[in-house]
């Protein structure tokens, strides 16, 4: 990607479409760079590596920027990496966080400058140039704009789940699930510990998609360790199934339930879900997408990628973005679907490969 | 589970993508029961809506007594189109089939009322709240009769919690 901007401002839900290799998943990986920094990445090498430089061009810096409005305050964070000759990993050469245009901190290479606030004097300190400053700078209180922004960014939910590998076991709690959802059990535990009423949202959604579900249990199975199990019932009786034995699609319902509950409990969230329809029955896809789109109307942002006709039909021109590139030697370009003036049925146009400039 | 065919539910058959997006907006109403409404693939023209209705949906409506259908078509300023469409609906299904659409083409609506999803949401709100803000637009007000039926039969299905 080069000079790539994701134009999602003002949209509560967005669909990214495009051919294989157009760059849809790469968008999630780029967003994950910012998320990992906010989650406390210790080293630049944990988030970007020299191989990530566009076509290996070490003379061009790699820059990430994000702008967001939170609680009426406009935040802008940017971080740029470079790969000087002789280095084995990239280093930060510039990093800034601004709120309403005023710097919270600025950084050039190892030198970090904390701006003056109402209560604090300006300060300078040095930091290893292989470490991002965002997770290191100490907030003054939970109302500190630095804390608000960092927590919001750290709580992004970026999903590329591998249901077959989701076991439902946990030894700790988290509100920051991994992209592959291998820590689903820890997310479930963390969400209910943070907001016990979330179980109502989870239960309400799951009863719509799995009418015979009775409850989800999370019993202790060893020292500091739990394992999710799901109880179903009908007039013939009850059956309890370990979470790991649920089908791939059923596990996706579980993830969806947690996304809906998390957005209510500690949102507004940004949720990026790469192909959320992958394991779902055709009769479920549209309803699944609509449940997510509807939830994020009242706050947060839901971004999905898809090749599924039914998922694509549940979005509209105004919230569908098309990614394309002419070859692997050229950068990804993104444009709103409305720019393509598709005639007739969109899905048929996609099948024909006609949605191109 | 998908839509329960044995409980009252509504299938929406849109003529084209513009009507599909109107339906998307309608389904996004925060108080609408998402699992009582399924938007079908676009038919590609009002004639195809009728063909699909005849071939696929009449037999299935006979099978599922709680199935209701909304046919979303463009009237293209053709005053006899409603008559022609309704003539294709078997008498025993007439209470479960609704024909709605823009007097000309949906594209003309967006100039005044915003995107299709925005218009669809406003139409749902009108239907939900028994108001007529959007439905009285010159390109929509010819639907008054169908809207009245819609409120009587479809509103309780889609907005059952109100």
A69-97 pLDDT per residue, tens: 998 999 999 999 999 999 999 999 999 99
Residue of chain B minimizing CA distance to A317 = B21
Please count the CA atoms within 13 angstroms of the CA of A336 that sit on its side-chain side: 12
Which residues does A252 contact at the CB level (< 8 Å), separation at least 6? A161, A163, A276, A278, A279, A280, A288
A245-249, B44-48, B103-107: least confidently modelled range: B103-107
Give pLDDT, residue B145.
92
At residue B160, does pLDDT exceed 90? Answer: no
For B77-102, what is each residue's pLDDT tens digit? 998 999 999 999 999 999 999 999 99
Percent of chain A exceeding pLDDT 70 equals 99
Q: Report chain B residues whose CB lies below 8 A from the CB of A284.
A: 1-2
A73 φ/ψ angles, rounded to the nearest 5 degrees? -110, 135
Structure tokens at B51: 């063909």
A198-209 vs A248-266: helix crossing angle, rounded to 10: 150
Among residues A316, A59, A216, which one has the least CA distance to residue B116? A316
Rounded to an integer, the average pLDDT of A222-250 is 95
Structure tokens at A285: 């896809």
Inter-chain touch B44–A345, beta carbons under 8 Å: yes
Torsion of CA A25, A283, A181, A17, to 10 degrees: 10
**Interface predicted TM-score (ipTM) over 0.90:** yes
Among residues B121, B132, B115, which one has the least CA distance to residue A293? B121
Q: Report chain B residues whose CB lies below 8 A from the CB of A316.
A: 20-21, 24-25, 115-117
Inter-chain touch A290–B17, beta carbons under 8 Å: no
At residue A12, does pLDDT exceed 90? Answer: yes
Q: Report chain A residues whose CB lies below 8 A from the CB of B34.
A: 287, 290-291, 294
Q: Report chain B residues whose CB lies below 8 A from the CB of A344.
A: 16-17, 44
Q: What is the CA radius of gyration of chain B?
A: 14
At residue A36, does pLDDT exceed 80? Answer: yes
Task: Order across the sheet with A157-159: list the strands.
Answer: A157-159, A270-274, A301-305, A13-17, A320-324, A333-336
Chain B CB within 8 Å of residue A245 CB: no
The confidence band for B108, taking pLDDT boundaries of 50, 70 and 90, is confident
Which residues 58-87 of A have a C-beta within 8 angstroms of B? none
For A107-146, what is each residue's pLDDT tens digit? 999 999 998 776 678 889 999 999 999 999 988 888 899 9
Task: Give, for A347, the enclosing helix (H) or strand (E).
Answer: helix A346-352
Give pLDDT, residue A139.
85
Q: Rounded to an integer, what is the distance from CA B109 to the centroid of its chain? A: 16
At residue A355, does pLDDT exceed 90? Answer: no
Give pLDDT, residue A199.
97
For B139-155, what is each residue's pLDDT tens digit? 999 999 999 999 999 99
DSSP, residue by residue, A129-176: TTS-STTTSPPSSTTSHHHHHHHHHHT-EEE---GGG---EESS--SS
Residue A351 vs residues A20, A33, A286, B5: alpha-carbon distances, Å = 13, 33, 19, 30
B4 and B64 in contact (C-beta within 8 Å)? no
Which residues 28-87 of B have a C-beta within 8 angstroms of A? 28, 30, 34-35, 38-39, 41-42, 44
For B8-46, what is each residue's pLDDT tens digit? 999 999 999 999 999 999 999 999 999 999 999 999 999
As a whole number of angstroms, the longest Cα–Cα distance in chain B is 41
A230 and A213 in contact (C-beta within 8 Å)? yes
| Among candidates B20, B25, B117 on the partner chain, residue whose Cβ is nearest the Cβ of A313 | B20
Q: What is the C-alpha to C-alpha distance for residues A107 and A260, in angstroms, rounded to an integer?
A: 37
B11 φ/ψ angles, rounded to the nearest 5 degrees? -100, 135
Give pLDDT, residue A224.
86
Please count the CA atoms within 13 angstroms of the CA of A148 that sit on its side-chain side: 16
Rounded to an integer, the average pLDDT of A34-55 is 93
Q: What is the C-alpha to C-alpha distance for residues B40 and B46, in angstroms, rounded to an integer?
A: 14
A107-121, A272-286, B57-71: least confidently modelled range: A107-121
Residue of chain A minimizing CA distance to B22 = A316
At residue A330, does pLDDT exceed 90? Answer: no
B17 and B40 in contact (C-beta within 8 Å)? no
At residue A57, does pLDDT exceed 90? Answer: no
The confidence band for A298, taking pLDDT boundaries of 50, 70 and 90, is very high
Among residues A189, A293, A128, which one has the least CA distance to residue B34? A293
Inter-chain touch A347–B39, beta carbons under 8 Å: no
Q: What is the C-alpha to C-alpha distance for residues B41 and B20, in angstroms, rounded to an integer?
A: 8
Rounded to an integer, the average pLDDT of A265-283 is 96
B33 and B154 in contact (C-beta within 8 Å)? no
Percent of chain A exceeding pLDDT 90 equals 83
Q: What is the C-alpha to C-alpha distance for residues A332 and A171, in angstroms, rounded to an integer?
A: 40
Chain A CB within 8 Å of residue B2 CB: yes
Give pLDDT, residue B1.
59
Q: Report chain A residues whose CB lies below 8 A from the CB of B35.
A: 208, 287
Which residues does A183 contact at the CB level (< 8 Å), separation at least 6? A170, A174, A177
Sorted by where each starts, the structural domains of chain B and their CATH numbers stand as: 9-157 (3.40.50)
The confidence band for A27, taking pLDDT boundaries of 50, 70 and 90, is very high
Inter-chain touch A287–B35, beta carbons under 8 Å: yes
| Among candidates A291, A298, A316 on the partner chain, residue whose Cβ is nearest the Cβ of B34 | A291
Average pLDDT, chain A: 94
Inter-chain touch B2–A284, beta carbons under 8 Å: yes
Q: Report chain B residues whose CB lies below 8 A from the CB of A315.
A: 24
Residue of chain B minimizing CA distance to A338 = B115
Query: What is the interface size between A and B, counted as CB pairs within 8 Å?
Result: 63
Pairing of strands A237-242, A270-274: unpaired
């Amino acid at each position: 990607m080069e000079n790539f901007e994701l134009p999602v401002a003002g949209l509560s839900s967005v669909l990214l479409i495009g051919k294989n290799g157009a760059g849809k998943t790469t968008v999630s990986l780029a967003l994950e760079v910012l998320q990992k920094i906010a989650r406390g990445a210790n080293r630049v090498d944990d988030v970007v590596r020299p191989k990530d430089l566009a076509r290996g061009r070490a003379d061009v810096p790699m820059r990430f920027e994000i702008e967001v409005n939170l609680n009426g305050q406009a935040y802008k964070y940017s971080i740029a990496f470079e790969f000087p000759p002789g280095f084995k990993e990239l280093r930060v050469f510039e990093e800034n966080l601004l709120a309403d245009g005023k710097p919270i901190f600025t950084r050039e290479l190892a030198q970090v400058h904390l701006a003056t606030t109402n209560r604090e004097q300006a300060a300078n300190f040095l930091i290893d140039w292989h470490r991002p400053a965002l997770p290191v700078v100490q907030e003054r209180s939970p109302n500190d704009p630095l804390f608000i922004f960092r927590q919001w960014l750290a709580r992004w939910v970026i999903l590329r789940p591998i249901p077959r590998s989701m076991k439902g076991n946990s030894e700790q709690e988290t509100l920051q699930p991994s992209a592959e959802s291998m820590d689903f059990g820890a997310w479930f535990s963390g969400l209910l510990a943070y907001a016990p009423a979330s179980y109502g949202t989870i239960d309400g959604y799951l009863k719509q998609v799995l009418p015979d579900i009775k409850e989800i249990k999370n019993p202790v199975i060893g020292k500091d360790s739990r394992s999710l199990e799901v109880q179903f019932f009908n007039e013939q009786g009850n059956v309890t199934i370990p979470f790991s034995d649920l089908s791939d699609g059923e596990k996706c319902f579980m993830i969806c339930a947690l996304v809906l509950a998390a957005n209510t409990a500690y949102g507004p969230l940004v949720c990026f879900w790469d192909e959320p329809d992958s394991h779902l029955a055709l009769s479920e896809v549209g309803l699944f997408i609509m449940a997510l789109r509807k939830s994020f109307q009242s706050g947060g942002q839901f971004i999905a990628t898809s090749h599924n006709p039914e998922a694509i039909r549940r979005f509209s021109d105004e919230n569908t973005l098309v990614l394309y590139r002419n070859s692997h030697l050229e950068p990804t370009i993104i444009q709103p679907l409305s720019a393509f003036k598709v005639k007739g049925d969109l899905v048929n146009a996609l099948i024909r490969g006609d949605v191109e400039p | 589970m998908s839509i329960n065919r044995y409980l009252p539910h509504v299938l929406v058959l849109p003529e084209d993508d513009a009507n599909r997006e109107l339906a998307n907006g309608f389904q996004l109403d925060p108080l609408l029961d998402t699992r009582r409404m399924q938007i079908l693939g676009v038919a590609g023209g009002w004639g195809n809506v009728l063909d699909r209705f005849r071939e696929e949906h009449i037999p299935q409506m006979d099978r599922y007594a709680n199935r209701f259908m909304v046919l979303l078509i463009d009237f293209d300023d053709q005053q006899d189109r409603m008559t022609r469409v309704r003539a294709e609906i078997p008498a025993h299904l007439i209470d479960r089939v609704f024909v709605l659409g823009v007097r000309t083409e949906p594209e003309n609506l967006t100039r005044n009322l915003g995107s299709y999803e925005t218009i669809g949401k406003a139409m749902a709100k009108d239907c939900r709240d028994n108001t007529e803000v959007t439905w009285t637009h010159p390109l929509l007000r010819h639907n008054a009769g169908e809207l009245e039926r819609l409120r009587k039969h479809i509103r309780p299905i889609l907005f059952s919690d109100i």
